[in-house]
């Protein structure tokens, strides 16, 4: 009996070893398949800042998206940040051309994100290159209809608190934000250090592009899926006006952030979560 038991134990061990070999190395006749390949989509995001903004607005958003393996392109629009085109030479077409150049450089359709005034720019860029845009994202942005300008809409937003902080140049070519605008209106939920940094980077905003009507068609711009991210604590572009905009031009999704006009500073993680969910 002991001999038989010993033989059975040796046989069991041999079979167990053989099964393990088959599973781990495929040396048996029924080797298992390789693990499935990760098919997570890696997107390209093109980020377009708004009025009084610049490429640095997107620093935190860019870092978080790149940590997830995505490609991110952000730029200074003409006359903003380190781009020194004189105010009188700036135009909505010039802004659009800058973004279209990035779309043309991409090997794949992009997720095109426009903040605030950048909404007018991404609309025009999608009109020019609808085949290069996977989705348009309007982040607390001016989602306009054909023939409307940003100033048209801004002047009909009685709940905006920006007006008292605007100072126009004598020639009317530029408009600046006066002291307190960033902390009180633009970024009311931001850390004081972020407010001070924003203040230190401010430049006057060219006026002409703000008054230029957009020109879009349903056949081109309208063919691109669009998403609106509303900011319910916004004192610059009021939540009521944002709702009017995305109701007049219905979007595939409307997402919500309980932030000021600058969620890329006050809640970048929540903003990126929304972008990754698209």
| Residue 41 confidence (pLDDT) | 79
Domains and CATH numbers, the chain: 44-276 (3.40.50.1820)
Low-confidence residues in the chain, pLDDT < 70:
1-40
| Residue 40 confidence (pLDDT) | 60
Q: How far are the Cα atoms of 185, 226, 235, 260, 264 from residue 126, in angstroms, in the given order?
A: 30, 10, 28, 26, 23
HEC sequence for 111-126: EEEEECCHHHHHHHHH
Nearest to 145 by CA among 221, 239, 200, 208: 221
- Summarised one tens digit per residue, pLDDT across range 126-160 is 999 999 999 999 999 999 999 999 999 999 999 99
- Summarised one tens digit per residue, pLDDT across range 61-82 is 999 999 999 999 999 999 999 9
Please list, residue by residue across 111-120, b when 16 or more beta carbons sit within 10 angstroms of its beta carbon and e when fewer do: bbbbbbbbbb
Paired with 44 in beta bridges are 71
């Amino acid at each position: 009996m002991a001999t038989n038991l010993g033989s059975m134990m040796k046989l069991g061990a041999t079979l167990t070893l053989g099964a393990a070999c088959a599973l781990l190395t495929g040396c048996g006749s029924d080797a298992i398949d390789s693990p499935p390949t990760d098919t997570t989509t890696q997107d390209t995001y093109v980020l377009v800042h708004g009025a009084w903004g610049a490429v640095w607005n997107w620093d935190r958003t860019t870092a978080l998206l790149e940590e997830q393996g995505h490609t991110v392109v952000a730029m200074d629009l003409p006359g903003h940040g380190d781009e020194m085109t004189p105010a009188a030479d700036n135009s909505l077409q010039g802004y659009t051309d800058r973004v279209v150049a990035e779309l043309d450089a991409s090997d794949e359709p992009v997720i095109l994100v426009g903040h605030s005034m950048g909404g007018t720019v991404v609309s025009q860029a999608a009109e020019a290159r609808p085949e290069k845009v996977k989705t348009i994202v309007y982040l607390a942005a001016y989602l306009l209809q054909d023939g409307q300008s940003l100033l048209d809409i801004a002047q009909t937003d009685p709940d905006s608190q920006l007006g008292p902080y605007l100072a126009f140049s004598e020639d009317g070519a530029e408009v600046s934000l006066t002291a307190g605008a960033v902390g009180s209106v633009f970024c009311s939920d931001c850390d004081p250090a972020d407010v001070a940094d924003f203040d230190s980077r401010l430049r006057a905003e060219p006026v002409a592009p703000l008054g230029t009507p957009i020109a879009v068609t349903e056949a081109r711009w309208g063919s691109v899926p669009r998403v609106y991210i509303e900011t319910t604590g916004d004192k610059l572009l009021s939540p009521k006006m944002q709702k009017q905009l995305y109701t007049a031009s219905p979007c595939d999704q409307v997402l919500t952030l309980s932030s000021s006009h600058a969620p890329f500073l006050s809640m970048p993680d929540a903003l990126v979560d929304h972008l990754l969910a698209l």
